[in-house]
Amino acid sequence: MKRTAWTFLIGIAGLALLAAADSPSVLHFPLHGVSINALEAPSGDSPTMLLTMCLPVTDAFAPNVSVMAEPSAGSIDDYIASSKKEYAKSNLTILNVNKLDADNVILEYSGPVENRKLHFYSKASHRGTEMIIATAICTEKQWADSGAKLRGCIDSLQRDSR
């Protein structure tokens, strides 16, 4: 009898774990009192936009944060080197590079994009063959008011432990 009861309980626990694994991730925005299921799929061989969030528009621009997953066979050092080259080609000035550890870096840069001087604050996190990149963008003028909030959002990016 005891063996049957334990087998039943273990079976129920296993089913609960399987159900939880199949349930979608939920994004919750408590300020607005709303939740929504995450829309995600494997990125495969091309970059995938995971999320975009915007603050209210001021001066005809919405400060925003985007999170992307992209394939990456290289290291975080390779990412830093290629980012520096890409920014130089785009006439962007690197303000700060802060390598947090072997797999994470913060990059801050600014410069002209389509007749606006923009400020960027980005965190890249490398694992295996994937890079997760969260980037905040606003105008240089907006950075004074929105920078702390954008920086806090980007700094909060962290990978699940595996």
Q: Is 70 exceeded by the pLDDT of residue 5?
A: no
| Element holding 42 (H helix, E strand) | none
Q: What angle do CA 96, 160, 68 make, to 5 degrees?
A: 55
Domain count, the chain: 2
Q: Is there a domain that residue 161 lies in?
A: no
Give 82-105 as a DSSP string: HHHHHHHHTTPEEEEEEEEETTEE
Residues 102 and 124 reside in one and the same domain? yes
Q: How large is the average pLDDT for residues 101-110? A: 97
Q: Compute the average pLDDT of residues 62-88.
A: 95
Cα atoms in the 13 Å half-sphere on the side-chain side of 24: 10
Q: Give me the domain span that covers residue 116.
A: 44-155
| pLDDT tens, position by position, 22-72 | 567 898 889 888 898 988 887 778 899 999 999 999 999 999 999 999 999
**Alpha-carbon torsion angle 30, 40, 20, 134, nearest 10:** -60
67 with 50: CB under 8 angstroms? yes
CB 26 within 8 A of CB 35: yes
Mean pLDDT of 113-138: 96
The pLDDT of residue 38 is: 86
- Residue 20: is its pLDDT beyond 70? no
Please check whether residues 32 and 107 belong to one and the same domain: no
Find the largest Cα–Cα distance for the chain.
77
The verdict on 29 and 58 lying in the same domain is no
Are 30 and 58 contained in the same domain? no
Is 160 contained in some domain? no
Q: What is the pTM of this model?
A: 0.82
pLDDT over 50 at 17, yes or no? no
Q: Are residues 32 and 102 in the same domain?
A: no
For residue 115, is it within any domain? yes
Better pLDDT: 36 or 92: 92
Alpha helices in 23-110 (DSSP H): 76-89
| 126 contacts: CB under 8 Å, gap ≥ 6 | 72, 75, 76, 79, 103, 104
C-alpha separations of 135 from 54, 105, 107, 145 in Å: 12, 12, 9, 17
3-class SS of residue 118: strand
Judge if 55 and 10 occupy the same domain: no
pLDDT tens per residue, range 138-150: 999 999 999 999 9
- Do 79 and 115 fall within a single domain? yes
